[in-house]
Structure 1
Amino acid sequence: MSLLYAHGKTAANIADSLLDALRSGALQPGDALPAVRTLAQQLAVNPNTVAAAYARLRYAGRVVTDGRRGTRVVGTPARMAQAYAVPTGLRDLASGNVDASLLPQLQGGAAAWAALASSASYDAPADLPALQSEARQWLTAQGLPCGEIGVFSGTLDAVERALRVHAHPGDRVAVEDPCWPPLVALLHSLRLKPVPLPVDGEGLCVPDAGVLQGCAALVLTPRAHNPTGAAISPARWKALRHQLQALPRLLVVLDDHWGPLSATPLAMAASLPPLWLHVVSVSKFLGPDLRVALATGTPALLQALRAQQALGPRWVSRILQGLAAGLWRQMREGSALAQAGGSYAARRQALVQALAAQQVVLAPGEGLHLWLPVADEAAVVQSMASRGWAVQAGTPLRLASAPAVRVSLGECRPTDMPRLAADLVQALRTPGRAVF
């Protein structure tokens, strides 16, 4: 690196000169910075001064230090892939939308909660007691401790705050593979490195010894994994927790997105790891536009998340909290939650059985999605489109796992399953061909 890029005698001046080089384009993403001692000799300063300058840049998320690879300029943050536009005339099994007919309808009770919340002042409690009560009742039924509950603007908001509190740019975060694409995009934006861990019919596979030891956090789905539908079995959790107990500083984030619609007990409820965060969103059972998620976890972590939130948005709209509380109570008291969960389960079971009748066997699971291994994703997607169905190619959801397609059941009924299964089998048997 040319001396023109770095100058100064203090850590602040050296860091500022490198930032100027980044802004001007003289330093590009991926470029290596000199070793600390090399640059110290060039600038005639103490190596500790250069080390402090590099530390400033790491804290700002502009460089990462990675063992023998040294210190490098971070790459450009990954952007979310463009949303897939379902072609006109196709049945949408790709977007992952819930069935709108299973969502609650706004009635007087929910409207009254919203009106009550809207009268709150700046100095009112940030979290609406009615929503706290609903959440506490459900969390207790799941076997989870809920001494403190935070309200956030969706799952990603809670997860992002937890990672900002606990991890630093350059840290590794273990994730399921396949996984939810927005999570991977979030990790890249925070300059965190995803470490893919495979998933099978019993949920997240236990990694080799040492893999988690090098990670700052682990994000996993305890049940209804997107996209496979798998739940972590008690035996799998026992083996995984054995590793986690030896890693008290590893943050374990439980993304329980299917939560109140699930019929599967939480395998980890009675044996939580030392540092944990459980997040449940209302998106799947009340509707995605509410943008409300509830989190509970290790007390010190929850307090840090709430303190960070207080410095920014301060609270989630109490009108939204009131609507969520009223609609949740309405769903619970009218047994609509159980009916919605049962409806999705019936669709999944009908499709799994129809596929099994044609010798396509899938692992058990629950939730909106099925994950079908394929030889050629594009060929299967095109074949299904020719039969009137839009399914999701697996590429955006995969890090290192094998090709597959995701089929979402929000816009299907059990009566659709024989035809859907027959079309899927034909698509799976359709060979891909090269086009020159």
Structure 2
Amino acid sequence: MSAEITGTTAADIADSVRGLRDRGTLRPGDALPPVRELAATLGVNRNTAVAAYRQLAQAGLVVSRGRAGTTIAGVEAVAQEGYAADTVLRDVGTGNPDPRLIPDPSPALARVTGRPVLYGEPVIDRGLDSWAHEWIATDLDQSDFRVTVTSGAVDAVERLLAQALTRDDAVALEDPCFLASIHTVRLGGYRAVPVPVDGEGMTVVGLRAALDAGIRAIICTPRAQNPTGSSLTAARAAELRAVLADHPYVLIIEDDHFSMLSQRPYETLIGPGHRRFALVRSVSKFLGPDMCLALAATDPETAERLSMRLSPGTTWVSHLLQRLTHAQLTDPSALATIGTAAAHYAERNATFAQLLRTHGFDAPDSDGLSLWVELPRPARAVAEKLMRRGWLARTGDEFALDEKAEPSRHLRLTVHDLSDADAAAFVADLVAASR
């Protein structure tokens, strides 16, 4: 392959590799020659070959795997949330809210129609903006923040990273990690730096290591972490803020996805003096996944950069959707339904976790739509046996950042919609599958 790559400058060498890729001579997964070999073949300095590979990596065309070499990048599939397609199995890995506990938007729809919004008008509905400021100000210890409306939390995170980073920049992610965050970071061409999560949230040792690795952004779930269900404790949050005090320009993105449904207090990594931050709250868990709307409270500079990507006439979030969201979040009936949903998820998950513990499983009390269950053997083997018994479960392997990690011994189970009889049947099958 060295003989087919040409060029005497870094830019020429990178263009040559790009051309070989475009013509199909190089395909995803193909290895490029080692730097020393390529430099010797082309008669250039080793640093020139290094610079060429760096340009290709920053463009997302190659992947550097350390001692394993550099390979042509492909599009790596990532598991997605939601129901599995084309299965007759009972799906207990969906991560979905209960549709019966999502407020009916019909009564509010008639109230939100009215004067059409035209090009050039403010992109944020005034009523929603005012309500969001009051809601967020009670939790965010910042003297100055602005609210931006995006098409859901994933859209917010993608835009936040894009305005702050370039390809190959390092981003700290919780490990195990929310599937959408893994997908967003990979598609953006950023480097994921795993930070372990325990029962109190991100670990201090893990965050310090990530900062030493040069991360430019952190994505954290302050409560109801997906998939583990853990939430930051006040003590852990204070320790993490102390570590971050020396890194005020690292962008902190907090995805408080479970906000209105959470049974835990909101704790934060964002200290009062931190300069780059975003608290993102989606409405998808309590108003429904199809209500593609999230509120992002950010520092003023980040807000300015986001506004350039959400400009009037092009990419703003529909004012009808914003008004509908505001109408439901200020409606006593809708709020009562959200309160009922919060209590339901907490009660059903606690009951199921207790049932698991009576059968010897480690299932700590947690927050969120799912439970993180530790098994006595690798989860894939257990999941395969559960499939033969009619159940479809998600293994922890899907949420791991390190592809070389030991096989997971966890299942993430969404069981809040199981009846008592179905729950008992599932646990009996889980006991048998775990032997």
TM-score by length of 1: 0.84
CA gap of 1:334–1:184, structure 2 versus 1, over 3 A, is closer
Q: CA deviation at 1:224?
A: 0.7
CA distance in 2 between partners of 1:87 and 1:65 (Å): 37
Instruction: Indicate whether 1:427 and 2:430 are aligned.
Output: yes
CA distance in 1 between partners of 2:413 and 2:148 (Å): 33
CA distance in 2 between partners of 1:22 and 1:366 (Å): 46
CA distance in 1 between partners of 2:91 and 2:330 (Å): 30
Q: CA deviation at 1:103?
A: 0.8
Q: CA deviation at 1:385?
A: 4.8
CA gap of 1:265–1:143, structure 2 versus 1, over 3 A, is farther
Greater Cα shift, 269-278 or 294-303:
269-278
Instruction: Indicate whether 1:212 and 2:211 are aligned.
Output: yes
CA gap of 1:287–1:123, structure 2 versus 1, over 3 A, is same
Instruction: Name the residue aligned to 1:310.
Output: 311
Q: Residue deviations 1:13-61, cap 9 Å, x none?
A: 55433321221234454634675997599467x9998787666545433
CA distance in 1 between partners of 2:68 and 2:390 (Å): 52
Instruction: Name the residue aligned to 2:369.
Output: 368
8 Å Cα contact 1:354/1:417 also seen in 2: no
* 1:161-180 superposed matches below 5 A: 161-180=159-178
CA gap of 1:84–1:419, structure 2 versus 1, over 3 A, is closer
Instruction: Name the residue aligned to 2:95.
Output: 96
Instruction: Name the residue aligned to 1:404.
Output: 410
8 Å Cα contact 1:97/1:411 also seen in 2: no
Instruction: Name the residue aligned to 2:124.
Output: 127
Greater Cα shift, 174-183 or 138-147:
138-147
CA gap of 1:2–1:287, structure 2 versus 1, over 3 A, is same
Size of the aligned set, in residue pairs, is 423
Q: CA deviation at 1:259?
A: 1.0
Where in structure 1 do 4 or more consecutive aligned residues deviate above 6 Å? 46-52
Instruction: Name the residue aligned to 1:241.
Output: 241
Greater Cα shift, 235-244 or 287-296:
235-244
What's the secondary structure of 1:295's corresponding residue?
Answer: strand
Instruction: Indicate whether 1:158 and 2:164 are aligned.
Output: no
CA distance in 2 between partners of 1:221 and 1:257 (Å): 8
8 Å Cα contact 2:195/2:210 also seen in 1: no
Greater Cα shift, 135-144 or 123-132:
135-144
Unaligned runs of 5+ in 1: none
CA gap of 1:334–1:241, structure 2 versus 1, over 3 A, is closer
Q: CA deviation at 1:428?
A: 3.4
Instruction: Name the residue aligned to 1:149.
Output: 147
CA distance in 2 between partners of 1:91 and 1:32 (Å): 45
Instruction: Indicate whether 1:105 and 2:104 are aligned.
Output: yes
Q: CA deviation at 1:339?
A: 2.2
Instruction: Name the residue aligned to 2:338.
Output: 337
Q: How big is the alpha-carbon RMSD for the aligned residues of Structure 1 and Structure 2?
A: 3.4
% identity of equivalent residues: 31
CA distance in 2 between partners of 1:418 and 1:53 (Å): 61
Q: Residue deviations 1:310-362, cap 9 Å, x none?
A: 39942112222222222222257743332221121111222223333444342
Q: CA deviation at 1:173?
A: 1.9
Q: Name the amino acid aligned to 1:132.
A: D
Instruction: Name the residue aligned to 1:18.
Output: 17
8 Å Cα contact 1:110/1:327 also seen in 2: no
TM-score by length of 2: 0.84
CA distance in 2 between partners of 1:365 and 1:231 (Å): 8
CA gap of 1:139–1:421, structure 2 versus 1, over 3 A, is farther
What's the secondary structure of 2:128's corresponding residue?
Answer: helix
Q: Residue deviations 1:148-184, cap 9 Å, x none?
A: 1111111111111122222222222221222222221
Q: CA deviation at 1:122?
A: 1.1
